[in-house]
Amino acid sequence: MKCFRGPIPYLIAGLLIHVVFLAALGTDLLRPLFNDTSHTRRGFDFGVFYLAGQALAEGRDIYSVSGAFGFRYLPAFALVASLFAQFQPLTAYFLHLCCTELFLAVNLYLTWRWVEKPRRGLALFMWLAFSPHFLELYMGQVSFWAASLFFWLIVGLHSGRERVAGLCWAGALLVKPNALILAPALLRLRAWRVLFLGLLAGLLTSLPYFLLHPDSWGTFFAANIYGAPVQGALTHAGNLGLQGGLVSLVAQLAGRPLAELTTLADLPLAGRAVIYCSQAAILVATLVATYRGRDALPLLALWMCTFFLVYKDVWEHHYVFLQPVIVALYAHSGSPKFLWIFALIALPTPFVLFDIEPGVYGPIDPERTWGPVTSLAYRSTKLIPLGYLWYGLCRTCLASAPTKS
C-alpha cells in the first residue's frame, strides 16, 4: 500500500484528467466549455504554423501567410514549423501533440526531482489537470513549449546553472516572442549571461531572414505590438486579458458595438484614458517592485503575471504560462493560497452559460450580444485570482531585504 501514499495518488488523479483531455480531442465532449473550441476547428493555430513552414521551405515570406491573425513568431520558429510541413497536415498535427506531451513529461520529471516530497504530489497534479492545456492541444499551439522552457529557466537559476537558464530563455524567445516580458526581471537579477544568450540567439537567428526580407520586420513588429487592423477584433470573447476586458466594458458602457471596433482610437477619449492610465499604473507598480525585489522566483513570476494585465491579445490558452509560476511558487512556499489560485485558473470559465450558437464553426463572437455584467463575470474567474497573485508578488518584492551580491 505504500505506492498509494505520498505523491502517487495525486499523480494518478492528474493522469486520469489528462487522459480525458487527450480523449476529448477526438470528440465534442469539452468543446462547449471554451470559446476557442466552440467556434474554432481543431488545429486552427497549428495551421498557421504549418503554412509558415511551407512558405519558408518554398522561399516565400513567412509573414504573408493568411489564416487567423497571421504568423507572429520569429523566423527560427518557422524553421521548426518547416519540419512539420514535410508531413501531411493531420500527421503533422499529431506529431505536434507528441512534442507537447514530451515537454509535459520533462516537466513532470523535473518537478519530481526538484520539489520536496510533501508538496510533490500536488505540484505534479498542477501540470496535468489544467484546462488551458487542453486548449493548447486542441488549437495546436506552442505556448506550453515556451512555458516549459520558462520552468526550466526557473529550475536552472535555482540550481545556479546560468548557462542552462540562458539557453532555456533563448528557446522560449524563439518559440514565443512574448517571453521577452521576462527581460526586466533578468536585468534586475543581473543575470547577464542569461540575457546575453537569449538576446544573441534571437538576433543571430532572425537577422539573416530580415535582411533577406526587409519589409517583413515592420510586419512582424506591427503584428506583435499593434495587432492586425481587423474590424471587430479589438476585443472578443476569446480575449481573457485585463486590457481586453477593459476595452469591452468601456465600449459597452459607451454604446459602441464591439463589431465596429478596430483600434483604441474608436473608443471615447475618457474610456481610452481609463485604459491607458490603468495599464501605466500596473507597469509603474511592477517596475517599482522590481527595483526593490531581490529573489529570482518572485521577480520572474511578477513579470509573467504582468503580461496578462497589459498585453492586448491574451487568449485562454496563454494561461499555461502561469503553470510554471504556480508550480514553482507552491514548491517554494507550500502556501495553500497557491492551491486556490491554481484551482480557479485551472477550471474553465462560465463561457458555456453565455455562448451563442454553441458548436458552430465560424467568426462568431458571443460577447457582441453580452452586457457589461456578463463580460465582467466571464473574465473575472481568471482575472481575480491572477490579480491577487500579481498583488501578492508585488508585496513580496517590495518587502525584500537587501542581500549581499
Work out the pLDDT band at 68, boundaries 50, 70, 90: low
**68: region left, alpha or beta (phi > 0 left; psi from -120 to 50 alpha):** left
Those residues whose C-beta lies under 8 Å from the C-beta of residue 382, and which sit 6 or more positions away, are 240, 316, 319, 344, 345, 349
- Output 400 or 303, whichever has higher pLDDT: 303
User: Is 177 a residue whose pLDDT tops 50?
Assistant: yes
Mapped onto helix, strand or coil, the DSSP state of residue 239 is strand
* pLDDT value, residue 232: 79
- Output 48 or 70, whichever has higher pLDDT: 48
pLDDT in tens, 76-108: 999 999 999 999 999 999 999 999 999 999 999
Q: Where are the alpha helices (DSSP H) in 115-142?
A: 117-128, 131-139
Question: What is the dihedral sign for C-alpha 324, 329, 331, 332?
Answer: positive
User: Is 125 a residue whose pLDDT tops 60?
Assistant: yes
Element containing residue 140 per DSSP (H, E): none
Residue 157 lies in a domain: yes
With CA atoms as reference, report the closest residue to 213 among 62, 42, 17, 44: 62
Residue 105 lies in a domain: yes
Residue 139 lies in a domain: yes
pLDDT in tens, 199-217: 999 999 999 999 988 888 8
Mapped onto helix, strand or coil, the DSSP state of residue 262 is coil
* pLDDT value, residue 233: 84
C-alpha cell of 176? 514565443
Question: What is the dihedral sign for C-alpha 254, 247, 46, 357?
Answer: negative
* pLDDT value, residue 84: 97
Q: Where are the alpha helices (DSSP H) in 25-88?
A: 35-39, 44-57, 75-84
Residue 305 lies in a domain: yes
User: Is 244 a residue whose pLDDT tops 70?
Assistant: yes
Residue 67 lies in a domain: yes
- Output 4 or 94, whichever has higher pLDDT: 94
C-alpha to C-alpha distances, 386 to 30, 43, 275, 308, nearest whole angstrom? 24, 28, 18, 8
How many Å is the maximal CA-CA distance in the chain?
66
Mapped onto helix, strand or coil, the DSSP state of residue 315 is strand
User: Is 346 a residue whose pLDDT tops 80?
Assistant: yes
Name the residue range of residue 193's domain. 2-398
pLDDT in tens, 287-320: 999 999 999 999 999 999 999 999 999 999 999 9
User: Is 219 a residue whose pLDDT tops 90?
Assistant: no
Contact 216, 62 (CB under 8 A): yes
The one-letter amino acid code at 81 reads: A
Residue 205 lies in a domain: yes
Specify the number of domains making up the chain. Answer: 1
**Chain Cα centroid distance, residue 37:** 17
Average pLDDT, the chain: 93
Residue 186 lies in a domain: yes
The one-letter amino acid code at 153 reads: L
User: How far apart (Å, rounded) are the C-alpha atoms in residues 349 and 34?
Assistant: 7
Residue 404 lies in a domain: no
User: Is 44 a residue whose pLDDT tops 60?
Assistant: yes
Q: E-strand spans in 80-210?
A: none
Of 281-285, 372-376, 401-405, which range is least confident?
401-405
Mapped onto helix, strand or coil, the DSSP state of residue 280 is helix
